[in-house]
Structure 1
Amino acid sequence: MDHLVDNFINYITVEKGLANNTIESYSRDLKQFTDFISGFGILEIAQLTKQNILEFMNHLKQHGKRPTTISRNITTLRNFFRFLVREKVIEIDFSKYFEIPHIYKKLPEVLSITEINNLLDSPDHSTNLGLRDKAMFELLYASGLRVSELLSIESADLNFEMGYIRVLGKGSKERIVPVGSIALEWCRKYINESRPKLIIGSSHTSLMFLNRDGHALSRQGFWKIIKHYAKKAGILKKISPHVIRHSFATHLLENDADLRAVQEMLGHSDISTTQIYTHVSNKMLRDVYKRTHPRSELEDDKK
């Protein structure tokens, strides 16, 4: 069984070009599945039955796994079994036995324009790390990059003259995203003044954003940074690493940006993923209306 998993992981790495985080998730999900069925003495794919699939599904539910986690597990296994069918390793497509649980799509947390400005103004840009953080936040809000994309860019990916950044997104898909002059100037300042001081004494790297030791900044490191500045800015909302990306998309749509254009900038393959931000935008408009319009609700409702 292990060699089939290895073949599949090699396929999604080399041929599909999936992101490292996705590949790691697939590997964990498949290990969990193979560990479970090996407990029943199943070591070869030919021994697998529909009943084993159903038992694994029940196992996930009984152990209190969230619907989103179960859904991800199912997606992994569906793709694995479809790969095995395509490679003619098995004849029965076990993927049809998996039922994805209904998932309530929680609207992403979004910062107001005032909160975004407070967050972007929080770093002390007179220090090397503060200037780095200022440049990171300005670039994120100007472009809507994923955190993984931000941490993977190189200085050469920024075109200061034309005002855009070249991004390698999910599935190694390249896209060009416009960047405003304010963010570009902060990035230029960081590249010229702070980055050379951070990289001194460390191994050479072409990555743009570095940690205090001159090495690649990790996702965990970025997470700590944004939490620190959110607290400093007095933001009480629940902060996620992608809160600036969510705010970028919502603020564009609030100002009548074309949904397809926002989809392109975010790098979404499916426009339905982008449409969730229209719901966020509509909710914010309703909240403003209820809070400010004198006849938004009956007097009895206000008591």
Structure 2
Amino acid sequence: MTSEEMTAPVKAYLEQLKQRRSPSTVANYGLDLRRMMKALAAHDIQTWNQVDQYLLMQVVTELSATVSAASIQRYRSSLRQFYRYLLEQRLVDHDPTQDLALPRRVMAEPATLSVEETLALIETITGTAPLAIRNRTILEVMYATGLKVSELLALTKADLHFNLNFLTVHDHLGKERLVPISQRAQKWVEKYLQVARPQLVNSANETAILFLNVRGGQLSRQAVWQLLKNSAAKAQLQVTVTPEILRASLKAHLLANQADYLAVVQILGNRIQNMPLLSLKRIQEVYRTCLPTALEEGE
């Protein structure tokens, strides 16, 4: 429930606004601010001074799942004007809307898959042949971790830390991050390592790379894209599935389950200037709590 300390300043602001803006403009500001109050109340916010830039980014991202990009832009504008009023009235000591960058998902709104569509995509791969097990494992890992193709293909056996439920991931700049992985995806990786990979290894030129092609070498980016294309067609999905769409889908599913926005950003390896670094324990806690159950549990 929204506190009186949240609603009272809004009422006073709208009354002041009536003196210089049209009734329709005042009504729109009121709708925007009430929507934001409701969203902030879901995060146990009781006063406007408790809001910081990172919480606003999370709330804006959550709202973007149900409203248009134009509406999100309007919410930001309404909040900026409102916080100017709060500062003038000395009701807050900071302005969290200053330099607030909209998350990329709000700006571009890439397509995402529902949980059901994600399951359908992954479960198109069946059978016990080495390539079938490898392909199923790739889809399981791509969704469970949100890795980019380059990060997926760079994985080695040494990057797997299943006793602690995470992977070490190397980005294109050579920087490492720790990424949680579901029990379900772990079981598929273990099956791949035990059953399929030994049949793909080239004993004359063995490599530590995790995912191998039929010649025992590193899998290509084109092969992963083709796998996604074929699986989407088999699942009869009405969207062209790309690695970025799988990343966006994981992000959307976590946020829909009230995941901490900063934790999701860190999992995906995105960077926000001056963003605080969360502990692996906190990241894993958010991940376990917010990953859809159907895509977390092992088979």
1:151-182 Cα deviation digits (max 9, x unpaired): 10001211111110000113211110111111
Superposed counterparts of 1:159-174, under 5 Å: 159-174=161-176
Q: Check the 8 A contact 2:229/2:240 in 1, yes or no.
A: no
Partner of 2:120: 118
Partner of 1:157: 159
Alignment equivalent of 2:213, drawn from 193, 211, 214: 211
Q: Check the 8 A contact 1:198/1:212 in 2, yes or no.
A: yes
Tell me, in whole angstroms, the C-alpha distance in 2 between the residues paired with 1:235 and 1:197.
32
Tell me, in whole angstroms, the C-alpha distance in 1 between the residues paired with 2:265 and 2:204.
38
Partner of 1:236: 238
Q: Secondary structure at the match of 1:166?
A: strand
- Superposition TM-score, scaled by structure 2 size: 0.54
Return 5+ residue gaps in structure 1 as ranges: 1-103, 273-303
Partner of 2:133: 131
Paired letter, 1:193: V
How far 1:185 moved relative to its partner? 0.6
Alignment equivalent of 2:108, drawn from 98, 103, 106: 106
1:21-50 Cα deviation digits (max 9, x unpaired): xxxxxxxxxxxxxxxxxxxxxxxxxxxxxx
Alignment equivalent of 2:184, drawn from 182, 185, 195: 182
Q: State yes or no: 1:191 paired with 2:197.
A: no
Tell me, in whole angstroms, the C-alpha distance in 1 between the residues paired with 2:175 and 2:192.
27
1:69-113 Cα deviation digits (max 9, x unpaired): xxxxxxxxxxxxxxxxxxxxxxxxxxxxxxxxxxx9432121111
Tell me, in whole angstroms, the C-alpha distance in 2 between the residues paired with 1:141 and 1:171.
22
Paired letter, 2:144: A
Q: Check the 8 A contact 2:202/2:217 in 1, yes or no.
A: no
Structure 1 residue runs of 4 or more that deviate by more than 4 Å after TM superposition: none
Q: Secondary structure at the match of 2:173?
A: helix
Tell me, in whole angstroms, the C-alpha distance in 1 between the residues paired with 2:183 and 2:113.
22
Aligned pair count? 170
Q: Check the 8 A contact 2:165/2:181 in 1, yes or no.
A: yes
Q: Secondary structure at the match of 1:176?
A: strand
Paired letter, 2:244: H
- Superposition TM-score, scaled by structure 1 size: 0.53
Return 5+ residue gaps in structure 2 as ranges: 1-105, 275-299
Paired letter, 1:164: F
Q: Check the 8 A contact 1:154/1:208 in 2, yes or no.
A: yes
Tell me, in whole angstroms, the C-alpha distance in 1 between the residues paired with 2:242 and 2:167.
23
Percent identity for Structure 1 against Structure 2:
36
The CA RMSD measured in Å over matched residues stands at: 2.0
Tell me, in whole angstroms, the C-alpha distance in 1 between the residues paired with 2:198 and 2:175.
30
Tell me, in whole angstroms, the C-alpha distance in 1 between the residues paired with 2:175 and 2:237.
34
